[in-house]
Amino acid sequence: MPYRKIYFFLIILFTTCTIYAQLSTGPEIAWQRCYGTSGGDNFLDAIVTSDNSIVASIYYGGYDGDATGLFSLSHPAGLIKFDSDFNIMWQKFFGGTDNITYFKKVVELNNSNLAAAGNSSAYDMDFPDNHGNLDFIIVSTDNNGNKLWSKSYGCAGIDEIEGFLPTLDGGYLLTGYTNGSGGDIPFHYGSGFTNDVIIIKTDSLGEILWLKVLGGSGNDSPIGDVVEINRGYYIINIGTYSNDYDVTDSGFEGLKRWIIKIDSFGNIVDESFMEGNVDLYTYTNDMVIPFGDGFMVVGNGNANSLLYPTSPEHALEEGAVAIFNADLELTFFKQWGGGHIDGFKRVVQDENGNFIFLGYSESIDYDLPGNYNGGETVDYWLFATDSNFNPLWSKNFGGSDPCGDLGCSNFSGNLVLKDNMLYAFIKNTIPDSFPDYDIECGMEGTNDYYTDAWLVAFDLSTVNIDMPIVDNNFFIYPNPAENSIFISGNTPDSNSYTFLMYNTLGQKVYEVAFINNEENKINIQSLPSGLYVAAIISDGIIIQSEKIILQ
């Protein structure tokens, strides 16, 4: 039996914080485009490809508007390739003559071919092997979107995909849940009203090598993406209500996060558990990415968390980051937000190690600059930190529809960083008139809550760094400076401090430790001329920060 690790609040927190009076409001919108019909339309994923293009997964809910004449299939899954100037190079669609198909994930392979995974209830054309309802699907294409092969996996019940990973052995790993058995699914633990976790390993042509059913008689579902931590070893996060079968010895009742490490044959070789609604929530469609020797979860946290409480000032849900090591131990947890419901869904990291999160927010206070509905429903939310998770800037964007920018539904899309531009491939709720705050495009739908696929470009060069309100304990000179900066403490104390410099994008470009017992000379010859912010940190807290010019 795998060794179990159960964590309550045994954790070392890197609880760094800032004392900014107000964060910068982030980058300006450079341009935007909508792709829509009279139905509900949205982006589901987007990636930068090796030829510096972008491929996005799109779903059109109608047949008119931007979808006019593009396909004869019934509500198909779409792939769009954009060139570096965002001209459409090609659009390809996959599905059947009835029902619905969509791609939740798209990846580029080492040979520049593409693979997309999602769900389909179509039973002919691209998916003649459908098992009777909603199945997992994989479609393999060349780099021009031409289909090489397609596969369906599932049973006569509902099989919903969550994670998709091209594995280092050349195959694929899919995760999701099912409420039935039969077809490819050998058995089901619970009733038809509960879900089990499904893990499918395939070869490079999508043929099943093995399939695992995990869980118990309660509801079980994977959370976010799969991480291949070493060749042939995979980490999967699961949200579960079960207390029997595979989850007999969790040590927790009710909702819990079950983290498993499996080998190349699907055997569980390690596992850990934590409560599912105390610190880090167990929501599907969170982002899980490799980090260090372990992984990072980007999602929602509880303002009343035992590990990192942000209440009573903050309330309800926060955008949260949790880091786990290779032994599935939680080593870092931090969250941001305000007095309402906030959350993260996606993250990118720039070349300087800064993180930019995309999520949603209702809050009008604390880490949020505002809300277009006065806190009544959600805007989109961009939030940036440095590599140590100190906040850099925060931006809400979207419109004022009573259904919020998610259209009274769930988050859909992805965030792409390319050439100092940030691209959000998401959806917007179509307003009655334009502009509606940031929304300037869209096609009116047949229902008030229908959305269009919305591509929003943000220019990161427009970010300005706001100044903290602090007392100056150090003299930083000269200003302007050329090759060197000197730091002199007003009250020498022989303590250790850290000196940082940020450029106008909020990126950390210099870091050095110094002792406050003498005049310290800082060599900045490697930095180009321009405007910077110099900061001094003590015990993880910015105690002084000021603008400085390098000549």
Report, as an integer, the average pLDDT of 523-549: 83
| pLDDT per residue as tens digits for the range 3-14 | 334 333 333 322
Strand arrangement, sheet containing 294-302: 287-291, 294-302, 317-324, 330-336
∠ CA 201-203-204, nearest 5°, is 130
Residue (of 379, 378, 274) closest to 333 by Cα position: 274
CATH class of 474-550: mainly beta
Give the Å distances, CA to CA, from 186 to 211, 290, 539.
9, 31, 55
Q: What pLDDT was estimated at residue 466?
A: 56
CA distances from 308 to 150, 319, 333, 411 (A): 45, 12, 7, 25
* 8-state DSSP, 372: T
Determine contact, residues 410/285, Cβ cutoff 8 Å: yes
Which DSSP category does 143 fall into?
T
Banded pLDDT at 102 (limits 50, 70, 90): very high
Helices and strands: H and E segment counts in the chain: 0, 36
Confidence of residue 549 (pLDDT cuts 50, 70, 90): confident
pLDDT over 90 percentage in the chain? 64
Q: What three-state secondary structure class fits 221?
A: strand
551 pLDDT tier (thresholds 50, 70, 90): confident
Q: What is the pLDDT of residue 215?
A: 95
pLDDT tens digits along 156-183: 999 999 999 999 999 999 999 999 999 9
Per-residue pLDDT at 511 exceeds 80: yes
- Chain-wide mean pLDDT for the chain? 89
Report residue 100 as tokens: 């619905």
- CA dist 271 and 3 (Å) reads 7
Neighbour order of strands in the sheet with 342-349: 342-349, 355-361, 379-385, 391-397
Maximum average pLDDT range among 232-236, 362-366, 489-493: 232-236
Lowest mean pLDDT among 195-204, 248-257, 453-462, 534-543: 534-543
Domain ranges of the chain: 1-35+284-466, 474-550
Q: What is the pTM of this model?
A: 0.81
Query: Average pLDDT, stretch 282-295?
Result: 92
Q: Is the pLDDT of residue 541 over 80?
A: no
CA distances from 13 to 17, 308, 467 (A): 12, 8, 26
* Average pLDDT of the segment spanning 70-91: 93
Long-range contacts of 531-535 (CB under 8 A, 24+ apart): 531/503, 531/504, 532/501, 532/502, 532/503, 532/504, 533/465, 533/467, 533/501, 533/502, 534/476, 534/485, 534/499, 534/500, 534/501, 535/468, 535/499, 535/500, 535/501, 535/502
Question: Do residues 437 and 398 touch, judged by C-beta distance below 8 A?
Answer: yes
Q: What single-letter DSSP state applies at residue 325?
A: -
326: helix, strand or coil: coil
β-partners of residue 393 are 24, 384
Query: DSSP letter string over 30-42?
Result: EEEEEE--SS--E
Judged by average pLDDT, the poorest of 396-405, 436-445, 507-516 is 507-516
Residue 479, amino acid: N
Instruction: Indicate whether 23 pLDDT > 90.
Output: no
What confidence category does residue 474 fall into, taking pLDDT thresholds of 50, 70 and 90?
Answer: confident
pLDDT at 533 (0 to 100): 83
pLDDT score of 182: 93
- DSSP state at residue 192: T
Question: 128 Cβ partners below 8 Å, 6+ apart?
Answer: none
- Quickly tell me which residue has 């003498």 as its tokens: 518
Residue type, 416: V
pLDDT-derived band at 505, boundaries 50, 70, 90: low
Helix (H, G, I), strand (E, B) or coil at 190: coil
Q: Would you say residue 57 has pLDDT above 60?
A: yes
Report the amino acid identity of residue 146. N
Q: Which two tokens stand for residue 139?
A: 């479609």
* β-strand pairing of 317-324 with 330-336: antiparallel
Contact 295, 288 (CB under 8 A): yes
pLDDT tens for each residue of 206-216: 999 999 999 99
Residue whose tokens read 């900061």: 535
Report cis status (omega within 30 of 0) of the bond before 480: yes
Instruction: Please list the helix, strand and coil fractions of the chain in percent, rounded to the nearest 5, in that order.
Output: 0, 50, 50
The candidate with the shortest Cα–Cα distance to 49, out of 146, 124, 143, is 143
- Cα–Cα distances in angstroms (integers) from residue 61 to residues 17, 107, 177, 236, 399, in the given order: 44, 23, 24, 32, 21
Predicted confidence (pLDDT) per residue in 334-384, tens digit:
999 999 999 999 999 998 889 999 999 999 999 999 999 999 999 999 999
Structure tokens at 233: 């070893």
Q: Is the pLDDT of residue 16 over 70?
A: no
Both tokens assigned to 373: 């509905």
Per-residue pLDDT at 465? 61
pLDDT for 101 beyond 70: yes
Binned at pLDDT 50, 70 and 90, residue 467 comes out as: very low
> C-alpha angle with apex 424: 418 to 429, nearest 5 degrees?
165
Q: What is the pLDDT of residue 143?
A: 95
Report residue 446's pLDDT band, with 50, 70 and 90 as the boundaries: confident
